[in-house]
Amino acid sequence: MSTFDPTDRPRGRLGIKEIARRAGVAPMTVSRTLSDPAKVSPETRARVMAVIEQAGFIRNELASSMRSGRRIVGTMVPPLINSGIAEQVQGMTDACQASGYQLLLVQGDFTPEAEEEAIRALLGWQPAGLILQAFVQSPAARRRLAAGPAPVVEISEVRGREPIDMAVGVSNFETAHAMTSHLLAKGYRRIGFVSTPVHGNDRLRQRRIGYRQALRDAGHHYPVPLEIEVPITPAGGAEAVRRLSAMDAALDVIFCSSDTLAIGAVQECHRRGWPIPERLAIAGYGDVDLAAQLFPTLTTLRVDRYAMGRRAVEQLLRRLRGEADVPAVETLGFEIVERQSA
Amino acid sequence: MSTFDPTDRPRGRLGIKEIARRAGVAPMTVSRTLSDPAKVSPETRARVMAVIEQAGFIRNELASSMRSGRRIVGTMVPPLINSGIAEQVQGMTDACQASGYQLLLVQGDFTPEAEEEAIRALLGWQPAGLILQAFVQSPAARRRLAAGPAPVVEISEVRGREPIDMAVGVSNFETAHAMTSHLLAKGYRRIGFVSTPVHGNDRLRQRRIGYRQALRDAGHHYPVPLEIEVPITPAGGAEAVRRLSAMDAALDVIFCSSDTLAIGAVQECHRRGWPIPERLAIAGYGDVDLAAQLFPTLTTLRVDRYAMGRRAVEQLLRRLRGEADVPAVETLGFEIVERQSA
DNA sequence: CTGTTAGCGCATTCAT
DNA sequence: ATGAATGCGCTAACAG
């Protein structure tokens, strides 16, 4: 398969040593040419680079990382199809690629045990740092992470909980409180709340608490709590319309904890011929691309997930560069995007 | 007076050597306990495992991989927010985690140069195999991959092009041909085609060719080709409705090369008060979650992207296990899902 | 600016 | 069943 050029008959594996031999320098000079070119004379550098190019040599990062700096960022995230997570991962990869790090990805719907296992696996690769999106539930894992040398950024709820190390995120309490208050200010009185299962998900829990608090702050009390949990799919949103409207005939708006649900809810209203927002209003969370294009356009809460991903990596890098005063918790802003649906 | 105490502060780094010291065995025994427990006596194994647990030791995979098998699967994919890619990556991570591999992710909208750079970066980590979704354009990169020791699976178009090594995917020509023929069979006569820019994207190109061929096969010829390119967003789908309906007043259906576009197109129809499919029908590609929940439900072409991701990893593993007759090209099926929109 | 020495943490190989 | 020696490919630290 490989084409052989008589001039580069490899003696042994194609390593830094072989390149050195061909260029007539010491291995160390090749190493320096790669990692600190300024310390090599221009002529030598050119000669070495030429040989590298010609041979198609690629440095073994495994070996390199063992002796010098770590160049892997490990990350654990919930399922990517969840709205927002993909954008966040995109922010992370972009930031990593820009600074020469590689992203090692673990992803899934983890039980506490699986989560612990996943973190263990990541740590084995000696990451320069970790970015964790799923709430780390296992105390053992939290302890291990805190004790380890790798900085950790949790992309998560920034309220109340003590981060393992650093955190980037929004106050989900605040965002949900703001949206609920906004809906109340617009005159809605019976506000339903639908989320995917909050169990083990701090962010969702905080959103629900924010919703409840806003109702209380405004002096509202519902005889039956208008809160339900559904699967994280558009069908879940449709289900929410069915169940919540059955729970309270006076229901006038549903606050969905994600745009995915909101979009599904909107479709169900169309199906029933319910005008939005007149018969039932819908509010989302996340501001995905589709929100602005939906019919009717979706009132939602915008959180910049891409920026979250980027910031998480940047925070990690600042810590790795040894910068002083890297804030432990970075709170990002949010914005209520008022459109037609509520 | 050093009494044996496993809770000892580590002397030196916490490595296999330190574990060995605490357990009173040789480092090699610890290594074996981890990678080939059967070769260690039950008592010794238990003792070593206890120390490992107790100390929270995690093997250095970097060092391990240098000496023995590679445990990284590298992957390069287009932006995750593209419909389908996220599911595919999910399939890959699930399959990797199940077999003890880790996924190193590179992601983005690559120019040929950036693509070459990204592949280079992946190869540096000595991956056991590579899964590439973006079409590898650079001949240099293709040559390098072909020459390297790592098996490569391209998730891509399976028609016409010679894979670097192996391929998993569908015939985009066939899928698009089938959908177009289906629309013709249903009586539509003026079929518009919208895709995101095909430049450098073999899959999209094949879809367009399939569309054209189906029209030709049915004896259709449009004075002005009803083909346009738009950005890969719901707004792009809306744009398609505007532009295509302006190009041909008799347009009766739009075949969108992705569900994202189709969903945007449907919203634009609602905005115009155009009944779907009576005034204008819409067909998509991909069958995302929302397709079945949309109002009206979306006629689309289902391709199991999650399975594609899984299969890609499985094919890699089979090759790595040295199985004979691993097929070079694995063609997955597809299905036209007829719903209300067309 | 360049080379030499030593060793990162583990597993292969060969001993016992 | 266990251990000792050796080296994977690279680079920090220290010459020259």
| Count of C-beta atoms within a 10 Å radius of residue B35 | 12
Structure token pair of residue B274: 């155009």
Q: Is A89 on the interface with B (CB under 8 A)?
A: yes
Bridge partners, B329 (sequence order): B167
Å between CA of B18 and C1' of D1:
21
Å between CA of A29 and C1' of D2:
42
Tell me how far apart the alpha carbons of residues A186 and B97 are, in angstroms, rounded to a whole number: 48
Q: Which residues of A touch B86 (CB under 8 A)?
A: 80-81, 85-86
CB proximity list for A208: less than 8 A, separation 6 or greater: A176, A193, A195, A198, A227, A257
Distances (CA, A) of A24 to A18, A27, A46, A55, B35: 10, 9, 13, 14, 40
Bridge partners, A72 (sequence order): A102
Please check the confidence at residue A175 and state whether its pLDDT lies above 60.
yes
Please check the confidence at residue A275 and state whether its pLDDT lies above 90.
yes
Class of CATH domain A66-171+306-333: alpha beta
Helix ranges (H only) for chain B are: 16-23, 27-35, 42-55, 61-67, 85-98, 112-124, 139-147, 172-185, 202-217, 234-247, 259-272, 305-320
β-sheet with A191-195: strand ranges across? A227-229, A191-195, A253-256, A281-283
Å between CA of A55 and C1' of D6:
29
- The 10s digit of each residue's pLDDT in B189-213 is 999 999 999 987 888 999 999 999 9
For chain A positions 211-270, those within 8 Å of chain B (CB to CB) are: 233-235, 237-238, 260, 263-264, 267-268, 270
Q: Which residues of B touch A80 (CB under 8 A)?
A: 80, 86-87, 89-90
* CB-nearest partner of A144 from B56, B143, B233: B56
Tell me how far apart the alpha carbons of residues A125 and A221 are, in angstroms, rounded to a whole number: 52
Q: Is A4 on the interface with B (CB under 8 A)?
A: no
pLDDT band per the 50, 70, 90 thresholds, residue A8: very low
- Per-residue pLDDT at B9: 42
Q: Is A2 on the interface with B (CB under 8 A)?
A: yes
- Per-residue pLDDT at A112: 86
CA dihedral sign, ordered B244, B245, B251, B254: positive
A134, A110 contact by CB (below 8 A):
yes
Domain ranges for chain A, please list them. Answer: 6-59, 66-171+306-333, 172-302
Structure token pair of residue B315: 């094919």
CB proximity list for A210: less than 8 A, separation 6 or greater: A172, A173, A174, A175, A176, A177, A178, A180
Are A66-171+306-333 and A172-302 the same fold in CATH?
yes
Of A9-13, A111-115, B44-48, the range with the lowest mean pLDDT is A9-13
Question: What share of chain B in percent tops pLDDT 90?
Answer: 79
Footprint of strand D on the protein (CB under 7 A): A 12-13, 15-17, 27-28, 30-31, 34-35, 59-60, 63-64, 66-69; B 25-26, 28-29, 32, 39-41, 43-45, 63, 66-67
- Per-residue pLDDT at A1: 34
CB proximity list for A36: less than 8 A, separation 6 or greater: none
Residue of B nearest to A104 (CA): B104
Peptide linkage before B296 cis (omega within 30 of 0)? yes
DSSP helix/strand/coil, B327: coil
Residue A158 φ/ψ region, left for φ over 0, alpha for ψ in the -120 to 50 degree band, beta for the rest:
alpha
- Count contacts between A and B (CB, < 8 Å): 161
Nearest C-alpha neighbor of B194 from the set B223, B242, B230: B230
Please check the confidence at residue B315 and state whether its pLDDT lies above 90.
yes
- Per-residue pLDDT at A160: 75
Backbone angles phi, psi at A15, to 5 degrees: -120, -175
Tell me how far apart the alpha carbons of residues A277 and A284 are, in angstroms, rounded to a whole number: 13
- Per-residue pLDDT at A269: 98
DSSP helix/strand/coil, B50: helix
Q: What is the 3-state secondary structure (H, E, C) of chain A?
A: CCCCCHHHCCCCCCCHHHHHHHHCCCHHHHHHHHHCHHHCCHHHHHHHHHHHHHHCCCCCHHHHHHHCCCCEEEEEECCCCCCCHHHHHHHHHHHHHHCCCEEEEEECCCCHHHHHHHHHHHHHCCCCEEEECCCCCCHHHHHHHHHCCCCEEEECCCCCCCCCCEEEECCHHHHHHHHHHHHHHCCCCCEEEEECCCCCCHHHHHHHHHHHHHHHHCCCCCCCCCEEECCCCHHHHHHHHHHHHHHCCCCCEEEECCHHHHHHHHHHHHHHCCCCCCCCEEECCECCHHHHCCCCCCEEEECCHHHHHHHHHHHHHHHHCCCCCCCCEEECCCEEECCCCC
Amino acid A94 reads D
Question: What share of chain B in percent tops pLDDT 70?
Answer: 96
Per the structure, the residue whose CA is closest to nucleotide C2 at C1' is A29
The answer to whether the Cβ–Cβ distance between A62 and B58 falls below 8 Å is no
Q: Is A340 on the interface with B (CB under 8 A)?
A: no
Q: What is the mean pLDDT of chain A?
A: 91
| Count of C-beta atoms within a 10 Å radius of residue A167 | 24
- The 10s digit of each residue's pLDDT in B120-168 is 999 999 999 999 987 777 888 898 899 889 999 999 888 877 889 999 9
The answer to whether the Cβ–Cβ distance between B90 and A103 falls below 8 Å is no
Å between CA of B69 and C1' of C13:
16
Q: Which fold has domain B6-59?
A: 434 Repressor (Amino-terminal Domain) (1.10.260)
Please check the confidence at residue A2 and state whether its pLDDT lies above 70.
no
The CATH classification number of B172-302 equals: 3.40.50.2300
- The 10s digit of each residue's pLDDT in B82-118 is 778 999 999 999 999 999 999 999 998 888 888 999 9
- Per-residue pLDDT at B12: 56
Of A79-83, A286-290, B33-37, the range with the lowest mean pLDDT is A79-83
Distances (CA, A) of B191 to A97, B257, B279, B342: 41, 13, 13, 11
CA dihedral A268, A269, A273, A279 (to 10 degrees): 160
Q: What is the mean pLDDT of chain B?
A: 91
pLDDT band per the 50, 70, 90 thresholds, residue A201: confident
Bridge partners, A41 (sequence order): none
Structure token pair of residue B111: 């120019």
- Per-residue pLDDT at A4: 33
Tell me how far apart the alpha carbons of residues B157 and B95 are, in angstroms, rounded to a whole number: 22
Residue found under tokens 């502060």: B9
DSSP helix/strand/coil, B274: coil
A281, A219 contact by CB (below 8 A):
no
- Per-residue pLDDT at A12: 57
Backbone angles phi, psi at A107, to 5 degrees: -150, 140
Peptide linkage before B112 cis (omega within 30 of 0)? no
| Count of C-beta atoms within a 10 Å radius of residue B127 | 26
CA dihedral B113, B118, B121, B126 (to 10 degrees): -120
* CB-nearest partner of A81 from B87, B122, B123: B87
What mean pLDDT is predicted for residues B25-48? 92
Å between CA of B5 and C1' of C16:
30
What mean pLDDT is predicted for residues A131-138? 82
pLDDT band per the 50, 70, 90 thresholds, residue A134: confident
Nearest C-alpha neighbor of B312 from the set B153, B163, B205: B153
